[in-house]
Amino acid sequence: MSVETSEPVFKNGVLRWVDARLPVLSWGYNEFMAYPAPRNLNYWWNFGSLAGFCLIVQIMTGLVLSMHYNPSAAGAFQSVEHIMRDVNYGWLLRYVHANGASMFFIVVYIHIFRGLYYGSYKAPRELLWMLGVVILLLMMATAFMGYVLPWGQMSFWGATVITNLFSAIPLVGEPIVTWLWGGFSVDDPTLNRFFSLHFVLPFVIVAVVFLHILALHQFGSNNPVGIDLTKTDKIPFHPYYTVKDLFGLSIFLIFFGFFVFYAPDFLGHADNYVPANPLQTPPHIVPEWYFLPFYAILRSTVFEKLFAPLALLGYVGIDAKLAGVLLMFSAIAVLFVLPWLDGSKVRSARFRPIYKWVYWLLLIDVVILTWVGGQVPTDRVVWIGQFAALYYFVHFLVIIPLLGKFERPRPLPESIGKPVLGRARLQPAE
Amino acid sequence: MQRKPLFRPILLALILCGLAPGARAAGEGVDLMQRSWPENGPLGTFDRAAVQRGFQVYKEVCHTCHSLNYLAFRNLAALGFSDQELQAIAAGYKVPALDDEGQPIEREAKPFDHMPAPYANPAQARAANGGGLPPDLSLIVKAREDGLDYVYSLLHGFGDPPAGHQVPEGLHYNRYFPGGNIAMPQPLTDGQVTYADGTNASLDQMAADVTQFLHFVAEPKLEERKLTGLKAGIFLVVFAGVMLAYKRKTWRDLH
Ligand code: HEM
């Protein structure tokens, strides 16, 4: 079964008239209906459309929340409680939005790890991958500022800790922090600007998502086998993947709904139901779970234990705090350059006997970092955190480049219909 | 090349394990007293009688020191109080107002008013409590880890400190309070209130009742939320089934 891309002919005269002058309809048709997709995509390919769904949910619930929300230090906490108690279905809106952020990150992290497993970042999809990393960064900024809005204790202290990181920048650090705050501490002006930015950044994400999709459709989706496919191995997105995505969406909604309706505060922090109090620091300041791996890298960077040798950085004016910030950002920067770190021409881990294992080690490493980020940094936790942080970078900067040189991939099939070894997966993976 | 059948479950399990413990900070260490609360569980509802009794405990005991700013008298309708009863309950309190000439006065509260606070401001509250600030209790159950068990335990936790534990002047020993020294004197003792419904007002009974009442104030939409979840869940399961069938049908011609 193959796809012939032809210009759609709209039966409706008005649509035809419009499309002849503004071909947005045929564009939409070509990109989202006729789009030739590999016929062997498995369920891990559902997470792209799920991420798009999450973005739309966040924008719609956020829009209504912002109609009732009051971005002032004196009124923010109260207005969120007003939403929870007095606005029709306000509790639902807020729980969907707050848990929606977590769901969005779960989906996007799975989406990223899918890309890592099947080598979706490799040529010719480097820009597609990098746009994805940009989206991740924008999501992080958006979620961070969103978490400040309810103005609870964790909002306030999280904002204080994270904005303070910029003070690590030599010379201009302090003035930058003051500039970010709009004052000498996190306060009304900070909350106001965070609200503006939190409102607008998702729309920037929408724009980058369009670029992401544009880049995707240039060469088409990668697939579990990771080879370039011929026309005969592609099927039109609609109805095959629309219906598969809808099925995936309904399962995702059950998972999402479980949190919203039965454990709405499980992923949050009790402390954020205490109004912000600049005079009282909570005993443990912990960011949201989706930041924990990065937070772990930040906090593990002390010039002691495993990282004692880093003290040498002191001679070039980099103190432990700055080193931590740099390492934390590098954790994302390595993702940017990953397409060039990985020299292996074979995309899918299915044909890379060693990478397949290394991949799982990375995943376990990230899970460990997530755990470390949520713990009180005792000696033991710092040791574990340092090993895990080190391994993260070793994975990307040492193992991946070496594998590209020395790993001997299994022979690739010529097409998904013609496997090299027996036991073929002739059919689409479901 | 066969895909590992374990691939999916392992990935999901790992990710979920990563989330759960990671998301919470380490606790304080003392094991809380446990109780099974009727409003917990997927279809839990508040025990109206217990919550009403808890309201009585709050009014007669806790309200001397703690405000409940997010509670409007009209919210109590959800507990089964009639309009007349609400009028009467509200009328028991005075709220600030202005008279026709703009002079500050006090008037009887109406159901739409919020519960007035015992102190005019935090400074006054501190002065009256030996420097400790009694927090507003509207959200206390959500504002502590395991809030229900915590508040319930806290009310039980007063007593003599263990040997060697120094309690500073003006504070009281409570084994469930972080650090052990709390500015709140033991608020409840057996028989502290006389329940309108004749229930025996033991310390344990009052602690459980007031905790349930505070939970109601923290989450007035709890029952609506769980019921909506049930409806949404049924819909989604059916929807998922239909989608799966439809997907199979659509894909059949490819196989
Ligand atoms: C990328 C998409 C978005 C993400 C990841 C995100 C994330 C968040 C998070 C984590 C919170 C804190 C929730 C809480 O703990 O209460 C929040 C709050 C909020 N967000 Fe968003 N958001 C997004 C999009 C939007 C948009 C587009 C708007 C407005 C049009 C918006 C408006 C709000 C408002 C008013 C609040 C405060 C109310 C509350 O705390 O529940 N959000 N957001």
Angle made by CA atoms A339, A54, A58, in degrees to the nearest 5: 120
- pLDDT for res B29: 62
Tens of pLDDT, residue by residue over B1-51, are 334 444 444 444 444 444 444 343 333 468 999 999 999 999 999 999 999
CA dihedral A41, A47, A51, A52 (to 10 degrees): 20
How far, in Å, from the CA of A149 to the mean position of ligand 1?
8
Q: Is residue A246 part of a domain?
A: yes
Residue whose CA is closest, atom 11 of ligand 1?
A: A146
Closest CA to A146 of A83, A100, A208, A189: A100
Residues A151 and A13 in one domain: no
A56 to chain B, any CB pair closer than 8 A? The answer is: no
The beta strand positions in A135-216, using DSSP E, are none
Both structure tokens of A281: 């620091």
**Residue contact B233–A253, C-beta within 8 A:** no
Q: Is residue A273 part of a domain?
A: no
pTM of the model: 0.92
Q: How far is B209 from A372, CA to CA, in rounded Å?
A: 39
Residue whose token pair is 């329940």: B195
Residues A117 and A248 in one domain: yes
Q: Is residue A290 part of a domain?
A: no
Q: How far is A302 from A308, CA to CA, in rounded Å?
A: 8
Query: What is the position in ligand 1's atom list of the atom closest to the CA of A138?
Result: 1
Residues A13 and A97 in one domain: no
**Domain with A237 in it: what CATH number?**
1.20.810.10
Cα of B36 to nearest chain A Cα, Å: 16
Residues A88 and A152 in one domain: yes
Residues A85 and A174 in one domain: yes
Specify the DSSP element, H or E, that contains A194: helix A188-219
Tens of pLDDT, residue by residue over B176-211, are 999 999 999 999 999 999 999 999 999 999 999 999
Q: Is residue A134 part of a domain?
A: yes
- pLDDT for res A356: 96
- pLDDT for res B6: 40
Q: Is residue A293 part of a domain?
A: no
Tens of pLDDT, residue by residue over A34-54, are 999 999 999 999 999 999 999
AA identity, residue B185 = P
Residues A122 and A101 in one domain: yes
| Total domains present in chain A | 3
Tens of pLDDT, residue by residue over A252-268, are 999 999 999 999 999 99
A111 to chain B, any CB pair closer than 8 A? The answer is: no
A91 to chain B, any CB pair closer than 8 A? The answer is: yes
- Range of A392's domain? 298-430
Positive or negative, the CA dihedral A353, A355, A358, A364 is negative
Q: Which residue of A has its CA nearest to B18?
A: A367
Residues A309 and A252 in one domain: no
Residues A143 and A219 in one domain: yes
**Residue contact A273–B15, C-beta within 8 A:** no
* Closest CB from B1, B14, B139 relative to A363: B14
Residues A249 and A304 in one domain: no
Cα of B32 to nearest chain A Cα, Å: 16
**Residue contact B233–A265, C-beta within 8 A:** no
Residue pLDDT tens, chain A, 430 long = 445 556 677 899 999 999 999 999 999 999 999 999 999 999 999 999 999 999 999 999 999 999 999 999 999 999 999 999 999 999 999 999 999 999 999 999 999 999 999 999 999 999 999 999 999 999 999 999 999 999 999 999 999 999 999 999 999 999 999 999 999 999 999 999 999 999 999 999 999 999 999 999 999 999 999 999 999 899 999 999 999 999 999 999 999 999 999 999 999 999 999 999 999 999 999 999 999 999 999 999 999 999 999 999 999 999 999 999 999 999 999 999 999 999 999 999 999 999 999 999 999 999 999 999 999 999 999 999 999 999 999 999 999 999 999 999 999 998 887 554 444 444 444 4
Residues with CB under 6 A from ligand 1: A 55, 58-59, 62-63, 65-66, 69, 80, 94, 97-98, 101, 104, 139, 142-143, 146-147, 149-150, 198-199, 202, 205, 268
Cβ–Cβ under 8 Å, residues A34 and A236: yes
Residues A114 and A8 in one domain: no
Task: Scan residues 309-348 of A and list those with Cβ closer than 8 Å to B.
Answer: none
- Go through the domains of chain B in sequence order and give each one's CATH number: 7-71+115-254 (1.10.760.10)
Residue A238 marked ligand-binding: no
Cα of B144 to nearest chain A Cα, Å: 5
Query: What is the position in ligand 1's atom list of the atom closest to the CA of A202?
Result: 1
